[in-house]
Amino acid sequence: MSKLLTSTAVLLALAAPAAHAWERPVMPIVVGLDGPDYDACASSGTVERLDPRGDGFLAVRSGPSSSYATIDKLYNGQDVIICDSRGDWYGVVYSTRRSVECNVNGPWHRPMPYTGPCRSGWVYKKWLGNLAG
């Protein structure tokens, strides 16, 4: 009986998503849009002006609209790299750890969807300030 319970527990653990799992966006962030003579992503910004009495976070969406699923959350003071845009939405790349290089500070040979090593998604541009680039 304990062998069956152990096997069931292992199967359930494998089937359940990890608590720290992060989804990639449905609409990829394209980097390298400015050509091979420029950095893959030319701008950066900082999350700001979020009301701590409200939600207190900026939703990172899987596409450039509030109708797309929230795949992560950013908070006041977090830095992002802006790589793409669609209307009022920025396609951003960001790290949850300061020491991680996101591999977008140099040129790419051609435009391509960003696949890592950092996280990426779409944010509403109203909540980004301190824009550079």
Domain boundaries defined on the chain: 22-132
Which pLDDT does position 73 carry in this prediction? 95
Which pLDDT does position 21 carry in this prediction? 54
Q: What are the residue ranges in the chain where pLDDT is below 50? A: 1-20
Which pLDDT does position 1 carry in this prediction? 46
Residue identified by tokens 């608590």 is: 19
Residue 80: strand, helix, or coil: strand
**Does the predicted model carry a pTM greater than 0.85?**
no
The fold of the 22-132 domain, in CATH, is: SH3 type barrels. (2.30.30)
Which pLDDT does position 22 carry in this prediction? 61
Q: 80 to each of 5, 21, 77, 131, how far by Cα in Å?
A: 45, 20, 10, 10
